[in-house]
Amino acid sequence: MKNYLRLLGFIKPYKGKAGISVFFNVLTVVFSLFSLTMIVPFLNVLFSQERHYVLMPWKVSAKNLLNNFNFYLGSYVDRHGQLEALLLISLLVVVMFFLKNITRYMAMYYLAPIRNGVVSDIRNDVYDKILRLPIGYFTDERKGDMMARMTNDVQEVEWGIMNSLEAAFREPLNIIIFLITMFTMSPELTTFVLVLLPIAGLIIGRIGKNLKKQSVQAQEKMGELLSNIEETLSGLRIIHAFTAEETSAARFGELNNQHYKLMNRIGRRRDLASPVSEFLGTVVMTIVMYFGGRLVLGQGAHLEPSEFIAFIAIFSQLITPAKSLTTAWYNIQKGLASSERIYKILDAEITVKDPENPTAAKLFEDKIRFDNVSFAYRKGDTGYVLKDVNLTIPKGKTVALVGQSGSGKTTLADMLPRYYDTDKGTIYIDNINIRHKRIKDLRSLMGIVTQESILFNDTVFNNIAFGMKNVNEEDVINAAKVANAHDFITDMPQGYHTPIGDRGSKLSGGQRQRLSIARAVLKNPPILILDEATSALDTESERLVQDALIKLMKQRTTLVIAHRLSTIVHADEIIVMHKGEIVERGTHQELIAQSGYYKRLFDLQAFS
């Protein structure tokens, strides 16, 4: 229920439309009620029942309204005859049903933007939260499951909860107004109904008891399916290379079969609601008809036959909203299961966030300093990835990080833009703790080029200008020229406006990397982080990219993570890392002269 109320909180921006929708729903119920109460005078006229009605003072009461209507109808019959009176009543019924359906449509008309707007807002909030969550959050999450929460789970909320808003708005009004009307017609019979309906409701409620739990399992299984599909699409080359098609198909088939069985159980339980509620409604209706018949036929009859038939007609209409509420309850339970998965993202803690009182944004002027920095990916670990690292990078200098895989090079670089925050120690830029800066101001100082070129399914121009506003084509072209990318871009069918495919799939590895460098050139940051930017390239591509990097690094402060040591021999300082600690530091010549860990690494690469 807590999550349901939270979801209803999304309606707040649409409260004006919600109010209009409720107003039209009230009118729908009123017109529906009037059209049903027309049965009494219709039957009286049809069967020529003689009744002497006296005009009563007007008040909100079904008996009072029917009495006074019958009074005026009797006068009309006396003047114009029964056939004309029957025609009048028939026209009134048609008008009432017309007004009922018009107002119902208007209620739905104003409800549609609420339903769709809420779902759109939820999807926006989830996407916005994903953008703001720290990188570390996604190390324990499957990409496919995150996609499932943004697509299938949000869709399930739309079908399960938002589509039930109409029932949630209209049906309670229907039930309350119908019950009040029935009570004014026959308090004894209505009291009897109020005893029977909750019993039927309890029986229906028992059927849907486990629906929410099963729905959670089904959505989690769908997340696994999407993860499997995403892995398959990313790894098709390997699947084909190792002839693992049958293994992959069997794995997917097993997951799909588990989801199939879960959805069958959920569907059968949900579908049971309608026939059970209909049968129970019929039982209640039969009991009410029998009990009401006794009130009509018994001594000292408390109810006229025509009024009893109208009562039954109104009660029969009460069953429909009750059934709608039952169906809505089942759908809401299924939607709430999905909402729990959505709220796991929305409620996730943002551990890397802006300070309450950030320092003013400034240009980089002096140096970067890592002061006794320690970090572990899982809090409380004794095995730190970084251990008491001390490092100073003066402005305009190039510092290279080298060492075996897992030595902490990339982790140390990730500390600078605050992809992660330190567990111990502090990082300073110009003697200002980076935690005291706004994240946007901090990252605006940096350009990052990684080993894997991160490109988007867009044009060359938009990939180079990514994240920047009001960029003109001349600036993009100049950046591409610095990155040695202009020539191959102009050879493309649409030049700078050529789409490059998913993750730049229409480009070679060297071309993708040069676009990444052009993006960094256009940003023109004072600080560069180059994470093994040439390690995955062939010799010719590496030469072009290395030349572009040299141009990019001019007059910039650069932190280079190097796999090929030949690319960083001219660095101002080389930091050798091993198991999260700095074990050696100096220039290339100084480290070679020491004949230590660096020289062994260099010799291994020289002979490989």
pLDDT digits (tens, 9 = 90+) for 223-270: 778 777 777 776 776 777 667 788 888 888 888 888 888 888 877 777
Segment 62-82, tens digit of pLDDT: 566 666 666 666 676 667 766
Give the model's confidence band at 389: pLDDT under 50 very low, under 70 low, under 90 confident, else very high: very high
Q: Which distant-in-sequence residues (6+ apart) come within 8 Å of 158 by Cβ?
A: 115, 116, 119
Rounded to an integer, what distance in angstroms lies between the CA atom of residue 215 and that of residue 159?
13
Superfamily of domain covering 2-346: ABC transporter type 1, transmembrane domain (1.20.1560.10)
| The pLDDT of residue 39 is above 70 | no
3 state DSSP class of 134? coil
**557 in Cβ contact with 364 (< 8 Å):** yes
**399 in Cβ contact with 560 (< 8 Å):** yes
Sheet holding 367-375, edge to edge: 386-394, 367-375, 424-429, 432-433
Listed by start position, the domains of the chain span: 2-346, 367-606
Q: Which distant-in-sequence residues (6+ apart) come within 8 Å of 75 by Cβ?
A: none
Sheet holding 573-578, edge to edge: 446-449, 527-531, 557-561, 398-402, 573-578, 581-586
Please list the alpha-helical segments (H only) found in 235-382: 236-241, 245-297, 305-346
What is the rounded average pLDDT of the residues 152-181?
Answer: 74
Segment 327-340, tens digit of pLDDT: 677 677 777 777 88
Whole-number Cα distances in Å, 210 to 1, 217, 329, 330, 340: 15, 11, 13, 10, 15
Rounded to an integer, what distance in angstroms lies between the CA atom of residue 412 and that of residue 374?
9
Where are any strands of DSSP class E within 469-545?
527-531
Query: DSSP state, 583?
Result: E
Residue by residue, DSSP assigns 192-246 as: HHHHHHHHHHHHHHHHTTTHHHHHHHHHHHHHHHHHHHHHHHHTHHHHHHTT-HH
- Give the tokens for residue 415: 């500390």
Beta bridge partners of 560: 400, 530
- The single residue listed with the structure tokens 């079969």 is 257
pTM: 0.71
The pLDDT score that the predictor gives to residue 403 is 87
- Give the tokens for residue 182: 């029935």
Rounded to an integer, what distance in angstroms lies between the CA atom of residue 85 and that of residue 75?
10
Segment 107-164, tens digit of pLDDT: 888 888 888 888 888 888 888 888 888 887 777 777 777 887 887 788 778 777 666 7
The pLDDT score that the predictor gives to residue 1 is 62
Least confident of 55-59, 185-189, 328-332, 578-582: 55-59
| The pLDDT of residue 279 is above 80 | no
Nearest 5°: the CA angle 368, 391, 350 is: 65
Rounded to an integer, what distance in angstroms lies between the CA atom of residue 441 and that of residue 15?
37
Torsion over CA: 314, 317, 321, 327 (sign):
positive
Torsion over CA: 264, 265, 266, 271 (sign):
positive
**436 in Cβ contact with 353 (< 8 Å):** no
Residue 407: closest CA among 559, 605, 576, 577: 577
The pLDDT score that the predictor gives to residue 306 is 66
Segment 557-592, tens digit of pLDDT: 989 888 777 778 888 999 999 888 999 999 999 999
- Report the mean per-residue pLDDT for the chain: 79
| The pLDDT of residue 24 is above 70 | yes
- Give the tokens for residue 353: 């966030």
Residue 90: closest CA among 50, 45, 49: 45
Give the model's confidence band at 102: pLDDT under 50 very low, under 70 low, under 90 confident, else very high: very high
Task: Give the up-direction half-sphere exposure of residue 573: CA atoms within 13 A in the CB hemisphere.
Answer: 17
Rounded to an integer, what distance in angstroms lies between the CA atom of residue 549 and that of residue 291?
91
Rounded to an integer, what distance in angstroms lies between the CA atom of residue 531 and that of residue 533?
5
Q: Which distant-in-sequence residues (6+ apart) come within 8 Å of 132 by Cβ?
A: 350
Residue 182: closest CA among 29, 35, 315: 315
Nearest 5°: the CA angle 141, 142, 145 is: 105
Whole-number Cα distances in Å, 587 to 249, 404, 556, 568: 53, 18, 18, 10
The architecture (CATH level 2) of 367-606 comes to 3-Layer(aba) Sandwich (3.40)
What is the rounded average pLDDT of the residues 458-478?
Answer: 88
